[in-house]
Amino acid sequence: MERVCIYIENEQRGFLISLGIVLRRKYGIKITFIIKDENLRKIINQDENSDFTIKNYNEIKLKDFDKIDIINESKRIESKYNININMLISENRAIGQGYLYNALKTPFNKKSKIPLHKKYLNIITDIIKNENIINNFDLIIQFYPSKLKTIVAKKNNIKILSIAPTRHGDYHLWSDDDYLNNIFLKKSILKNLSNYNNKIDANISFHPWVASVNRLAYFNDIRLKKTLINIFKILIFDFKRFIRNNYDKNSYKLFGWVMPQIRRYTNFKYVKSISLTMNQIKKKKFIYFPLHLEPEISLLWLSPEFNNSMEAITWMSKNVPADVSIIVKEHGQSFSVRSKSFYSQLDKIGNVYFADPSIQSLDLIEECNSVATFTGTAGFEAIYKKKPVISFGMHQIINYLPTVFYSSSFIDTAKAIHYIFKTNDLTKSQFSKSLYALNSAQVENSFELLDYKNSYKSDKINIEMAEIALKNLFIYLDKHKT
């Protein structure tokens, strides 16, 4: 491996720079950094002994496209990469805002109303830029899987990877697809399922995904004092941007996120007023359905085929037996982008209830009869707690497990619920088998990054963490050779 390209955007900037420094110093690999923030150039160049190539993504110039050019170029890209430009638009929370059915109070983004051909231009511009960048490299590293990069890299037979959480403690892996998985994780799960026997001790200790626990604690702080502080910070931040004329006039309006902070507090109070306590929930048989953070990558990118929470709840509600309920728990941050009518509409469905926002998700998993999710961590936690899972996410790695039921339609959901609640054929051995297969695969293919959860917004260089990640990168690449 001689040449590596590292994309640096808004998160884990210090860590990604650290990867480049170690690859250059220790392994003599030529590094190209792709940046969007010129302030990063100084941070990268503080390592005087390393001769990095640095390119600013925003400074890459393309020819002007008229409307006919845009359509022709879109068709070229769709044909070459076997993708659909309209699907990629739906995964963009700015130009694809019209798809956010369950987050209708997201502040208006002006890009959502631009003409369709300009939305196409937005997508194809990124792809063409990546076509200009991704050539003659042996490896591409990015913070998070982006189809606008991966389609280009894979078409050119260039390996493109990102660091992804395994949803288990502080363990991570090198993801080689668009959905936070890698090929060896899948192979390990299938191998473990095949090799499992009842003599294997599946009493495996559970370690919650630490970053998720920390983030949820932050998001669930919805006190009035905290709300007022958040509003004040937004006002100051946007006022400074206005004075400096340093904001995107085609994006969210200035001060557009003030009202969502107020709505977050009022929606929280409303849901709390109609929700059930833990003692009330314990008296029920129920499917636990935690709502996702919206609009966010966890839905838009990881489950692009289907991510309508209201529809999923409706499918389940119509199919559960008379003595089974659906318990819904809202994500603390999503109170800000949903209308009150979203909650009142669900509250009209007789067998759908909200859990009190203060109840911990793990406590609901412990008490439930089944967990339902698109791509959430709750699905993984359910495996460790030996609960059946209804998975609405096509690309979830847990879909390979015998106690997980992938549902892509109303009929699939009906079959899954019938099997879980009426057929009742799931055995203790099957739950142990799922747990063993998942946990062993996670352990076999991951590595511990204790500082990663604290460095998302950091520009600090962390050589030690980079060396751990790169040691496991070369293990991953060696596996591919064999």
Strand runs (DSSP E) across 110-239, as ranges? 139-142, 159-165, 171-175
The yes-or-no verdict on residue 216 having pLDDT over 90 is no
CA separation, residue 346 to residues 275, 325, 334, 349, 393 (Å): 12, 12, 15, 5, 22
What CATH architecture is 3-61+134-165+452-481?
A: 3-Layer(aba) Sandwich (3.40)
CA angle 71-72-78, nearest 5°?
Answer: 90
Q: Report H helices in 320-374.
A: 340-347, 361-367
Can you say how many angstroms the Cα of residue 124 is from the centroid of all Cα atoms in its chain? 23
pTM of the model: 0.94
**Per-residue tokens: 83:** 């993708």
The yes-or-no verdict on residue 269 having pLDDT over 60 is yes
**Among the listed residues 368, 444, 372, 432, the one whose alpha carbon sits nearest the alpha carbon of residue 402:** 432
CA dihedral 393, 395, 397, 399 (to 10 degrees): 50
According to the model, what pLDDT value does residue 21 have? Answer: 95
Measured distance CA(179)–CA(185) in Å, rounded: 12
Domain ranges of the chain: 3-61+134-165+452-481, 67-112, 185-207+274-448
Q: Is the dihedral of CA 317, 180, 405, 413 positive or negative?
A: positive
CB 327 within 8 A of CB 246: no
DSSP label at 5?
E
Least confident range from 44-48, 268-272, 277-281, 363-367: namely 44-48
Name 177's Cβ contacts closer than 8 Å, sequence gap at least 6.
Answer: 145, 150, 183, 395
Q: Give per-residue pLDDT as tens, 134-182.
A: 988 999 999 999 999 999 999 999 999 999 999 999 999 999 999 999 9
CATH number listed for the domain at residues 185-207+274-448: 3.40.50.2000
Measured distance CA(37)–CA(39) in Å, rounded: 5
The yes-or-no verdict on residue 202 having pLDDT over 60 is no
The yes-or-no verdict on residue 203 having pLDDT over 70 is no
According to the model, what pLDDT value does residue 212 have? Answer: 64
The yes-or-no verdict on residue 301 having pLDDT over 80 is yes
Average pLDDT value for residue range 81-99:
97
Q: Give per-residue pLDDT as tens, 373-410.
A: 999 999 999 999 999 999 999 999 999 999 999 999 99
Average pLDDT value for residue range 104-120:
96
